[in-house]
Structure 1
Amino acid sequence: MRRMRAAEAARLVQDGDTLLIGGSGGGHAVPDALLAALGERFRETGAPRGITALHPVGLGDGKTRGAGHLAQEGLLKRVVSGTFVNSPGIARLALDEKIEAYTLPQGSLSQLMREMAAGRPGLLTRIGLHSFVDPRLGGGRQSRCATEDLVELVEFQGQEYLFYRPFKVDVALVRGSAADEDGNISMEHEAVTLEMLSIAQAARRSGGLVIAQVKTIVPRGSLHPKMVKVPGILVDALVHVPDQWQTYETQDSPAYSGHLRVALEEIPRLPAGPRRIVARRGTMELFEGAICNLGSGISTGIANVAAEEGVLRRVCLTNEQGNIGGAPASGNEAGAARSPDAQVDQPYQFDFYDGGGLDLAFLSFAEFDAEGNVNVSRFGGRIVGPGGFVNISQGAKAVIFGGTLTANGAPKAVRQVEQVTFSGRFARERGQPVLYVTERAVFRLGDAGPELVEIAPGLDLERDVLGVMGFRPRVSPELRTMEAALFEDGPMGLAHRLPGRRQRAALARLEELQAAE
């Protein structure tokens, strides 16, 4: 197995290549040393030029690392990713029309890697229909110069589907914990495993190179075969990075890798404020045994509140990167989880999500509109992208969107969202229950859009709620006051009144009947 320095590996990328990159978010299994070397090579030599960067998950520390190393005019021709939120330099290039920019659903890109590995034509799925990913609403484009259709609308067996086209991969960058002398790669100390195997297989299927960054080199035959995620038969070169950190913020957390169980109840308590109120109201939708996803942003607070209320172990929290159980991390560490019960590869987690495995999805919103549409992908002069939002929100049995009703005095409930990341109409067609939870009020998706069903105690309906919205929703004749406990300092006593699955289903049915009346 050939070993080389990161600078040598960077010279293997040629002008016009398609570069497939593994990893997630804030340094989780991100081959950062290889990306840094490629960025440095371009600064010094002006090569390579015009490459396409393809990575299912956003990569970066929110500053210059990860995909940010590549955010140089001329180096990139095109970027296709689930999100740019971790790499603001990439977003700036897209806003300035310096690159062809696409943000596609993280889950669909992850699953597409598997289709590419098998040499299948592409990915056929209903995920993304009626969102900005749908060719009728933009095809996932985030810059005007992005003119190629990467997603097609097709009809199959009388139903509409989206077809995600495959890519020919020239070079793939993957990362692991250790490699043996034959190039077998293990990931036992990583916080996530993602689709590293599919990425390597897809590159090999295309005739491309696979370069692996690892922390440790071990003797031949010393890795347990069940720990090997990428077999050496798929790897062309190894780059040894002994000071490799687990994430950008954490050198090594045994709780993230599953080597140590920690007390989940020790998660910090959320400070008083709107974030805590929204998270507490969202937590009230939990029921015994509920399988949930917590999206980034304000909804990650659900884990903190559930721990404070003593119900965290009575539900199952998951994240799209593959962690099941435990306590999902938040902030720049989002994607990891403390003491998960299981870690599966990302494509399989999205199979479960797309198949309706989630009982509840707790997701944040940047804005929602009179049709019940939600936008998290492009707003306020920012390109963010959907991440796993489209798969999660479309596949879950019920969705709870959380956010503040205003931001810096401007309404977040608007007449029409800038970009449709979640379609209210499509949700109504599928009979999907949807709540919009804010610190001032709660709305339910009805036949005519969001309907106001709860208001915070002591607020004036017109002045404090309707008057700060960009549209006037229907007000339920059964308008209730939000529970006073949501706004108090102590626990809400949720542990003593967490409903069972059947009880929660009965309550949901009663609410549907009341709404119909």
Structure 2
Amino acid sequence: MHRPEILTARRAADLIADGDIVSVSSSSGLGCPDAVLAGIGERFAETAGPRGLTTLHPIAAGDMSGIKGIDHLARPGLLSRVVAGSYPSGPSSAEAPRIWQMIDAGEVEAYNFPSGVLHQMHRAAAARQPGVFTKVGLGSFVDPDETGGRMNDATPAAYVRREQLDGQEWLYFPAITPDVAIIRATTADENGNLTFEDEASPLGALDQAYAAHNTGGVVIAQVKRTAEAGSLDPQAVRVPGVLVDAVVVAPEQLQTTQTLYDPALSGQLRRPLSVLEPVPFGLEKVIARRATRELHSGEIVNLGFGVSALVPHVLVEEGLAGAVSWVIEQGAVGGVPLRDFVFGVAQNPDAIMQSSDQFTLLQGGGFHRAMLSFLEIDEHGSVNVHHLARCRHVTAGVGGFADIVSAAPEIVFVGSFTAGRRDVSLAGGGLTITRDGAHTKLVKKVASPTFSGRRALERGQKVTYVTERAVLSLRPEGLTVTEIAPGVDLERDVLARSEFPLQVGDELTTMDAALFDPAPLGLTLSPAAPHARIAALAAMTAKADR
């Protein structure tokens, strides 16, 4: 019977050779095998090895407080190349995460690729397939016609290229085969079988383990505890022990960046919704309240980080917590997605899928709409969500954004119209702008495109932009203002604050004054249209009954 070695984190680091490609399963602080990563950093400090590693992070590893995740590895000589969906957030200063300091200094090659594509690159490697053909990222900064996902001048154009297949244009990402996979679970039995009962998501651990194991690599699993062989429920095992070579026990591992363990996040109990903190009333809440008007009950809706993450909490306050089923890229389905730096998990989820499987739903457009935040919008309706020169390290990267927008039937972008210090008051059922932000977010050309408005029009996607002072729609004739807030001057506060001409819709209306008052909205959502075949069956049944 196969039995993995139980090692300290420092001893597990000795399994890694110079020049290895190392795949790490985590999403910021969620599921991060931090003890093993710290062990690698400790070994390098002692021995100056391993050297020249390439690390793969389908979502991200680490977060903004202290030395965590990838920052354990962010040392010149140890790390030569990083391929990640996102990077740690942090300040734009000498206090920035180590990995950002290395990227800025050109001390490491760094790529930012869509998270779903990175998961699929692991699946391709595991199945010994050449790579991934996808439309995800076409027209965005990932496209080789832009930057090819390269994050500094030290990074070569090595991974992504355009290809023609069956008369269509695709992006092609070659598979990357890891020599080592570092994954995390809750429990390992003596045979190495892994269960994830205390984890908020298994993320992509299985595919990363397959990718390393199938090609002769090593799989290291960090767990909270061990169990007797045969004592784990086979149905609960997410990674079979035959794939696991070494186990590191870290009883102190956090469930997320900010939670030691909350069973409501891992689906082991359901907490009353009353434990959720209400969203403070302010501009961001006004934006989120208006965004809820785009929803219909019974929909499947994807949710992004930032202002958009407030929308489920507005529904909770309105007594509509279960009106829509939220799906987030880390794997939760249903429940109430949490916000801020616990984003990526949900309280009381209905299901917790592998993140890699969740992207099959998202890339295939198997949901009704996405609600996502933005940093900039340009005259073509393109959106930048991943890069601003003036606050670069606050923006973590593309993550699953490009995967989500590639096929979403409808997209609602939410955010403020301007940025910077401002004096805006909410009173009398409207908005009063005494001093506006210095920076408009409606710019002639986005600093770096994460979403292509032109491609969205070609695909027939419905795109809406919700801000505190106006709602806009993406149309063939241009970005069009369809609503303005009470108290807002259309010319002064909207049209003149855009770097490009905005269209004004013939149907221009005033946003509901109730949005600008802290009292509950009394919100109701109309039902989503039923599936066409279900509707046809119901019609046939009704006709037969008559």
Q: TM-score, normalised by structure 1?
A: 0.94
- Residue 74 of structure 2: aligned partner: 71
Task: Choose the corresponding residue for 2:25, options 18, 22, 27.
Answer: 22
Matched, 1:502 2:529: yes
Is the Cα contact below 8 Å between 2:376 and 2:442 reproduced in 1? Answer: yes
C-alpha contact (below 8 Å) 2:84/2:112 kept by paired residues: yes
Paired position in structure 1 for 2:61: 59
Q: Is residue 173 of structure 1 aligned with residue 202 of structure 2?
A: no
CA drift at 1:265: 5.3
With 226-235 and 416-425 compared, the bigger mean Cα shift is at 226-235
- Matched residues in 1 for 2:477 and 2:277: separation? 40
Aligned partners of 1:366 and 1:403 also within 8 Å: yes
Aligned pairs for 1:387-426 (under 5 A) are: 387-408=399-420, 409-426=438-455
Which stretch shifts more, 343-352 or 416-425?
343-352
Supply the AA of the counterpart residue of 2:465. Y
* Contact preservation (8 Å) 2:254, 2:261: yes
Q: Helix, strand or coil: the match of 1:299?
A: helix
Q: Give the secondary structure class of the aligned counterpart of 1:312.
A: coil
Deviates more, 1:172-181 or 1:375-384: 375-384
* Conserved? CA contact 1:265–1:310, under 8 Å: no
Preserved contact between residue 20 and residue 172 of structure 1 (Cα < 8 Å): yes
Q: Deviations over 1:398-427 (max 9, x none)?
A: 000011111112111111001110000000
1:91 to 82, 85, 100: 100
SS at match of 1:494: coil
198, 204, 216: which one aligns with 2:207:
198
| Inter-CA distance 233–86: structure 2 relative to 1 (3 Å threshold) | farther
Question: Could you tell me how far 1:73 is from its partner in structure 2?
Answer: 2.2
Contact 1:266 1:307 in 2 (8 A): no
Distance in 2 (CA, whole Å) between partners of 1:85 and 1:212 is 22
Is the CA contact (8 Å cut-off) linking 2:135 and 2:406 kept in structure 1? Answer: no
Aligned to 2:222: 213
**Which deviates the most, 142-151 or 421-430?**
142-151
1:266 to partner: Cα distance? 4.3
Question: Partners in 1 of 2:188 and 2:103 — Cα distance?
Answer: 36
Deviates more, 1:34-43 or 1:414-423: 34-43
Q: Which has the higher helix share?
A: 1
Distance 1:442 1:313, change over 3 A: same
The change in CA–CA distance for 1:220 and 1:504 in structure 2 (over 3 A counts) is closer
Task: Please list, as runs of the form range in 1=range in 2, the aligned pairs for 1:65-464 lying within 5 A after superposition.
Answer: 65-86=68-89, 88-264=97-273, 266-381=275-390, 382=392, 384-408=396-420, 409-464=438-493
Q: 2:527, 2:98 → 1: CA distance? A: 47
Moved over 3 A (4+): 85-88, 502-505
**TM-score of the pair, normalised by structure 2:** 0.89
Name 2:40's counterpart in structure 1: 38
Letter in 1 for 2:484: I
- Deviations 1:434-462 (CA, angstroms, capped at 9, x unpaired): 01111111110011331111111011112
Shift of 1:503: 10
Say which SS state the counterpart of residue 321 (structure 1) adopts. Answer: coil
Alpha-carbon distance in 2 for matches of 1:494, 1:128: 36
Give, in angstroms, the shift of residue 161 of structure 1: 1.1
Residue 226 (structure 1) shift:
1.1
2:513 corresponds to which residue?
484
In the alignment, the residues of structure 2 paired with residue 484 and residue 12 of structure 1 have an alpha-carbon distance, to the nearest angstrom, of 62
Please give the per-residue CA displacement for 1:286-345, whole angstroms capped at 9, x wherever unaligned.
Answer: 101011111001100001101111112111111111110001111111111111001111
- Could you list the runs of 5+ residues in structure 1 that have no partner in the other structure? 506-517
Identity %: 45
**1:468 to partner: Cα distance:** 2.1
Instruction: Check conservation: 1:424, 1:449, Cα contact below 8 A.
Output: no
Per-residue deviation, residues 95-140 of structure 1 (Å, max 9, x unmatched)? 2211111000011111221111111111111111111111111111
Shift in Å at residue 197 of structure 1?
0.8
Deviation sequence 1:189-241 (CA, Å, 0-9, x none) = 10001111111110012211111111111001001111111111111111111
Distance 1:229 1:504 in 2: 32
Rounded Cα–Cα distance in structure 2 between residues aligned with 1:83 and 1:92: 15
Runs (5+) with no aligned partner, structure 2: 91-96, 421-437, 533-546
Cα distance change, pair 192–393 in 1 and its aligned pair in 2 (3 A): same
Letter in 2 for 1:460: D
SS of 1:110 mapped into structure 2: helix
Instruction: Give the C-alpha shift of residue 46 in structure 1.
Output: 2.2
Q: CA deviation at 1:504?
A: 13
- Contact persistence 1:127–1:162 (CA under 8 A): yes
1:10 and 2:39 are equivalent in the alignment: no
- The amino acid across from 1:473 in the alignment is L
Distance 2:170 2:334 in 1: 32
Match of 2:52 in 1: 50
* Matched length: 502
Cα separation, partners in 2 of 1:420 and 1:413, compared to 1, 3 Å = same
**1:233-252 deviation per Cα after TM superposition (whole angstroms, max 9, x unaligned):** 11111111122221221111
- Three-state SS of the structure 1 residue aligned to 2:214 is helix
Contact 1:264 1:326 in 2 (8 A): no
The CA RMSD measured in Å over matched residues stands at: 1.6
Matched residue type, 2:456: A
Report if the CA contact (8 A) 1:440-1:456 is conserved. yes
Q: Which residue of 1 aligns with 2:497?
A: 468
**How far apart, CA to CA, are the structure 2 residues paired with 1:58 and 1:112?**
16
For 1:502, the aligned partner's letter is: A
